[in-house]
């Protein structure tokens, strides 16, 4: 009997993610990537963000500086002067401190799910669900919290599903693309996802009839592996973050006549590459896919930009600082990169300017939140959208070529009231910033 095959993990074999240019350069030398080019991104084979080879990861030049704790998160984000600023934070503090807009419900939430600071006595989990009447839009959180506590998969993120289950019989599903191999296990689905465009077209008159034959080929990229669907426990985690942030937005909704920053758990797949005007045949393999678990949309649609102002990533188990750190950060780096590609692929205005951009990701590993901020500039965009033939490590000016820097903030432990309060303050400031962009900030100023 053949030995079972294990699913690949992101950046397998990489001892640590680079925290600075020197460590990145050392890794490039160690793995013989000095002359690797971006157009050779898939030289190690097909992959998605969750199975990215270490060579492909290093090709995109990501750097993860040392993580900053929750107490430094607000200062770091406001100093960027890109998302919200100190005024938004101060407004969020006032709204929460004065219990305006129904935010007094957060005090009840803290009592139910956070560890008590002064006394070890707390409400047993089996009774906490009966006390959720005063939580309003947060009422589901106690049940989700208890399910995550009781059903937590204690295995580390390094442990993966085993392939080799009996093959399922093939069937035709009119909602799926046909040119897919049968899944090797019912727990590891690789079907094409329905994206937002598919859903928006569901009521159109030109839909194919049920008797239409399956398409002869898939529209999915041939050089990219389809990311795996999230597990049931990861779905619970996604429900938790959407209920928490969606409840926060619903309390502020009364200040805006339009739907406001409502968090969602819609899985969205971004594709990095290939270039629209390839200069060589190898460019066809310069592509991969990354699926995020949800997002907060922009309050106002921006031409040429994706719908998502912030993106979510969820994991079913708590993250270990050593064993689990590399694959998690490697996957998130590729998700940042794919989101960056989506942001700028159809917008060429960046070519005539020199500026710095940022991405915003919220990651929840079981009951712990992390915020990661990606920082890149025009020169990095020139690298990923350029001809792709320049070496990963240029022979000259090695201290000046561009990187994707990703600063992680956290962890914000849901069970620690101080952590959760800071996290919610940040996300409330994010919502108020979106209100301001929609020119509706005067309303909540009146509330204050």
Q: Lowest mean pLDDT: which of 57-66, 193-202, 359-368, 373-382?
A: 193-202
Residue 302 lies in a domain: yes
How far apart (Å, rounded) are the C-alpha atoms in residues 56 and 33? 10
In a domain, 296, yes or no: yes
CA distance 5 to 162: 6
Local confidence band at 409 (pLDDT 50, 70, 90 cut-offs): very high
- Is residue 321 pLDDT above 80, yes or no? no
In a domain, residue 250? The reply is yes
State mean pLDDT over 401-419.
96
- Looking at residue 254, its pLDDT comes to 78
Ranking 62-76, 209-223, 355-369, 414-428 by mean pLDDT, the lowest is 209-223
Average pLDDT over residues 363-368: 94
Residue 316 is predicted with a pLDDT of: 87
Question: Is 64 a domain residue?
Answer: yes
In a domain, residue 84? The reply is no
Which has the closest alpha carbon to 137: 113, 112, 99, 103?
103
Of 379, 414, 371, the closest CA to residue 397 belongs to 379
Number of domains in the chain: 1
Any domain includes 34: yes
Confidence band of 401 (pLDDT split at 50, 70, 90)? confident
d(CA 306, CA 31): 35
User: Does the residue 382 lie in any domain?
Assistant: yes
Other Cβ atoms closer than 10 A to 310: 22
Q: What is the pLDDT of residues 253-310, one digit of tens each?
A: 877 776 666 789 999 999 999 887 666 666 668 999 999 999 998 876 656 567 889 9
Which tens digits make up the pLDDT trace of 53-85?
Answer: 999 999 999 999 999 999 999 999 999 999 999
Name the CA radius of gyration of the chain, rounded: 23
pLDDT score recorded for residue 188: 33
> Taking all residues of the chain, what is their mean pLDDT, rounded to a whole number?
78
Q: Is the pLDDT of residue 3 over 50?
A: no
What's the predicted TM-score (pTM) here? Answer: 0.80
Query: Is 86 inside any structural domain?
Result: no
* Host domain of residue 49: 21-72+225-416+438-447
- Which residue matches tokens 């066809």? 284
């Amino acid at each position: 009997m053949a030995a079972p095959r294990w699913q690949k993990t992101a950046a397998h074999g990489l001892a640590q993610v680079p925290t600075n240019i020197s460590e990145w350069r050392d890794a490039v030398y160690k793995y013989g990537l000095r002359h690797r080019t971006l157009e050779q991104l898939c030289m190690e084979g097909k992959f998605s963000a969750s199975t990215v080879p270490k060579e492909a990861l290093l090709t995109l030049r990501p750097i993860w500086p040392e993580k900053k704790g929750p107490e430094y998160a607000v200062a770091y984000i406001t100093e960027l002067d890109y998302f919200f600023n100190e005024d938004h934070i101060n407004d969020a503090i006032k709204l929460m401190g004065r219990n305006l807009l129904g935010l007094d419900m957060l005090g009840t939430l803290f009592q139910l799910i956070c560890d008590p600071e002064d006394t070890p006595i707390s409400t047993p989990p089996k009774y906490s669900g009966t006390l959720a009447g005063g939580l309003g839009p947060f009422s589901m959180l106690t049940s989700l919290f208890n399910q995550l506590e009781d059903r937590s998969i204690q295995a580390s993120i390094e442990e993966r599903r085993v392939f080799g289950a009996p093959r399922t019989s093939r069937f035709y599903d009119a909602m799926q693309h046909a040119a897919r191999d049968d899944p090797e296990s019912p727990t590891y689905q690789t079907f094409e996802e329905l994206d937002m465009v598919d859903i928006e077209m569901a009521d159109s008159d030109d839909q194919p009839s049920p008797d239409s034959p399956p398409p002869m080929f898939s529209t999915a990229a041939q050089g990219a592996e389809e990311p795996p669907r999230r597990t049931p426990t990861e779905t619970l985690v996604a429900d938790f973050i959407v209920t928490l942030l969606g409840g926060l937005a619903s309390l502020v909704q009364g200040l805006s006549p339009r739907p406001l920053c409502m968090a969602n758990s819609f899985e969205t797949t971004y594709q990095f590459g290939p270039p629209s005007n390839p200069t060589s045949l190898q460019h066809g393999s310069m592509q991969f896919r990354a699926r995020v678990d949800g997002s907060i949309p922009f309050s106002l649609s921006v031409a040429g930009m994706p719908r998502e102002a912030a993106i979510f990533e969820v994991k079913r188990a708590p993250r270990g600082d050593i064993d689990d750190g590399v694959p998690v950060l490697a996957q998130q780096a590729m998700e940042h990169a794919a989101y960056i590609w989506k942001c700028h692929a159809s917008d060429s205005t960046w070519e005539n300017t020199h500026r710095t951009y940022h991405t915003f990701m919220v990651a929840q590993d079981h009951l712990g939140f992390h915020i990661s901020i990606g920082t890149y500039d025009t020169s990095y965009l020139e690298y990923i959208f350029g001809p792709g033939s320049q070496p990963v490590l240029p022979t000259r000016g090695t201290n000046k070529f561009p990187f994707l820097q990703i600063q992680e903030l956290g962890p914000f432990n849901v069970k620690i009231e101080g952590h959760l309060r800071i996290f919610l303050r940040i996300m409330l400031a994010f919502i108020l910033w979106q209100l301001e962009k929609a020119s509706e900030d005067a309303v909540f100023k009146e509330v204050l």
